[in-house]
Chains A and B, each alone.
Chain A
Amino acid sequence: LAKTTQPISMDSYEGQEVNITCSHNNIATNDYITWYQQFPSQGPRFIIQGYKTKVTNEVASLFIPADRKSSTLSLPRVSLSDTAVYYCLVGDYNTNAGKSTFGDGTTLTVKP
């Protein structure tokens, strides 16, 4: 399983764009990159997934360079409710039972 590295914490202010980068140097050809969000006392929640280039949904964007050794989760115009822990996961979900290592995640604190 590919190991991921993320910043431990980040601070931002309401209305700003936040970019969280994840390093995954040993990503395999069949691996996808998935980001989860976790609020206190809740289980993680799926945000976005991608394989290469850029993926966008109603919540976030995911940028993946050509070498796929890193990825950046972009949250546009954050609000106080975006304060949470964000996890980057790498794994082959089609054939590998979805086993992934969560790591310690990035604690994002949004200030007013």
Chain B
Amino acid sequence: NAGVTQTPKFRVLKTGQSMTLLCAQDMNHEYMYWYRQDPGMGLRLIHYSVGEGTTAKGEVPDGYNVSRLKKQNFLLGLESAAPSQTSVYFCASSWTSGGLLLNTGELFFGEGSRLTVL
């Protein structure tokens, strides 16, 4: 059981280049999230998804796009990378009962993807 897997783990980009980060989870979770974490700071929510085919903006969505074509995958795209997007990116997933049962909403995180934009 792999849990949440992020690829790639490290990437260096030049300003203006594009790239996609892939998040895959094997827990059949409905909710998936992308966060960024800058040095010495907490995690900030970029985008999230409440199910296949749906996405929504989080706290800091500008400069990023996401897609959830399959339930198990959540992609984060940078169309034109900027140095301000240098950060560690974390993907997470969680289960929900849709309000039918009590659930903790526990977030399961990947190991992170370290992105440097020169």
Contacts and interface: CB of A to CB of B under 8 A. Distances in A.
Interface of A: 32, 34, 36, 41-46, 49, 87, 91, 93-95, 97-99, 101-105
Interface in B62-118: 90, 92, 94, 96-97, 99, 102-112
Q: Which 5 A-B pairs have the closest CB atoms?
A: A93-B105, A43-B109, A102-B42, A98-B105, A102-B43
Q: Is the interface of A mostly helix, strand, loop or mixed?
A: loop
Contact of B50 (A32, A45, A49, A97): A97
Contacts of A46: 104, 106-108
A32 B104 contact: yes
For chain B, which range describes its interface: under 10, 10 to 19, 20 to 34, or 35 or more residues? 20 to 34
Interface centre among A42, A45, A99, A105 (most CB of B within 10 A): A99
Nearest to A51: B102
Interface SS of chain B: loop
Given A32-B105, A36-B107, A44-B43, A98 B112 contact: no
A102 B58 CA distance: 12
B107 A98 contact: yes
Contacts of B40: 104
A98 B31 contact: yes
